[in-house]
Amino acid sequence: MSVIDGLPFADEKKTYILDVLDPILEEMVSDILTEMPKNPLDFMIAWLRKRSGVATSLRVSIQQKNQLLKQELRQVTGSLSEAGTAIHHEHHADEESEEEDDDCDEIPESHQKPMSQMTRARQSVSAEAYGTWNQKKAFTAPVFSKTDEQKERLNQTLQQSFMFSTLESQELNTVILAMKEASFPSGEKVITEGEDGDYLFVIEKGSLDCIKNINGEDKVVKTCVPGDVFGELALLYNCPRAASCVVKEPLIAWQLDRESFNHIVKEASVKRRNRYDNFLKSVTLLKSVDAYERSQISDALKAETFRQGESIVKQDEPGDKFYIIEEGELYAVKNIPGEGEKRVMDYKAGEYFGELALLRNQNRAATIVVASETAKVLSMTRTSFNKMLGPLQNILTRHVADYK
């Protein structure tokens, strides 16, 4: 049943919304999502002017056209407002989830196709986001039979992935049953950059290279290993494949289809990725990182919370994590021979620590203590640090002087 059926309008108005307004709005919203203009209102006015100009006689003056366009825009805005008010009252309980769904429609600029290739992608965005008033269909996840040993093996693999490790046990079990095993030999191209994608994969065994065409040259931007997810960007943002994926070592992976992903995983993953992506933009260290690299870094981060007085790392202990402070305040204490403990540095949100132990492969140089009531940090393991932040090691090395 369409959401429009529950609106307090006469049948004539409902028919008008479905037959007249909905096709225009779908087309306009699709173009807005493609262009992502800074001022959407100006874009809408220009869009309506252009569209109206096709149907309006050339003999109508510019002034008359403007009046018609303003009237049409007022009618459309009024209808949207009226429909929105009715939906708000009838579906107030779903308001929060609908706002979160809106986040899923934002396509990172770096992942968009050229305009000449956007026809199919634009249609899919419009249909998925603004179909007949974004109605939700009943969904039953597919089930592929698995042995207990396979389920356990897949569960362990998914627990290594940020995208699935935070799911509730029931949701995780549904995902496990919906996944289909797939094997690929060395050298096979599993994904081709620029194509549409309907599946993501989680690696259980083997490895593959993610290759992007940058300035006419194919470059390996990431190597995926067991526990890594690849192919998720096309599903997260309903956009073309961001990179090609070529098998490096014989691959055993688990495949999840778009519909299952959208209904089970997408909402939580998009919310988390967008939050971390927006936060990472404020981290000085990562300002030179592009959107694709930043999305990979956000995928590798794990949130940890500490209370006042707790030590996140301790001097002279081995270090295997790099940290970025998301919330709260910290300070560094160093035990100096002959002088005792001294407070040597303060930290606030957006700053980082722990890189010395990873850069130099040595023990922690100081103890980091929580100064505020609570502190939230985003941690990255040594493996992810070396893989994700390799290009930034020169910057980090130069910053070592700050500690002196």
Sign of CA dihedral 57, 59, 60, 65: positive
CA distance 233 to 117: 18
Of residues 102 and 380, the one with the higher pLDDT is 380
Superfamily of 148-263 according to CATH: Jelly Rolls (2.60.120.10)
CA distance 211 to 193: 8
Residue 134 has what DSSP assignment? Answer: T
Mean pLDDT over each residue of the chain, to the nearest integer: 76
Of 81, 55, 80, 79, give the one whose Cα is nearest residue 68.
55
H runs (alpha helix) in 257-301: 258-261, 267-280, 291-300
Confidence at 358, pLDDT banded by 50, 70, 90: confident
337 touches 267 (CB < 8 A): no
Of residues 331 and 117, the one with the higher pLDDT is 331
State in Å, rounded, how far the first CA of the chain is from the last one.
Answer: 67
CA distance 129 to 28: 12
CA distance 304 to 7: 45
Structure tokens at 39: 């001022």
Q: Rounded to two decimals, what is the model's pTM?
A: 0.41
CA distance 233 to 212: 14
List Cα–Cα distances, 196 to 47, 59, 240, 327, 337, in angstroms: 27, 44, 5, 38, 61
Among the four given CATH numbers 2.40.10.10, 2.40.10.340, 2.60.120.10, 3.30.360.10, the one describing domain 301-403? 2.60.120.10
Structure tokens at 150: 């396979």
212 touches 221 (CB < 8 A): yes
What tens digit of pLDDT does each residue of 272-318 get?
Answer: 778 888 888 888 777 777 777 777 777 778 888 999 999 999 999 98
Two domains, one topology: 148-263 and 301-403: yes
CA distance 176 to 170: 10
Domains in the chain: boundaries: 3-130, 148-263, 301-403
Q: Is 144 helix (H, G, I), strand (E, B) or coil?
A: coil
CA distance 70 to 62: 12
What tens digit of pLDDT does each residue of 372-383 get?
Answer: 999 999 988 877
Say whether pLDDT at 98 is over 50.
no
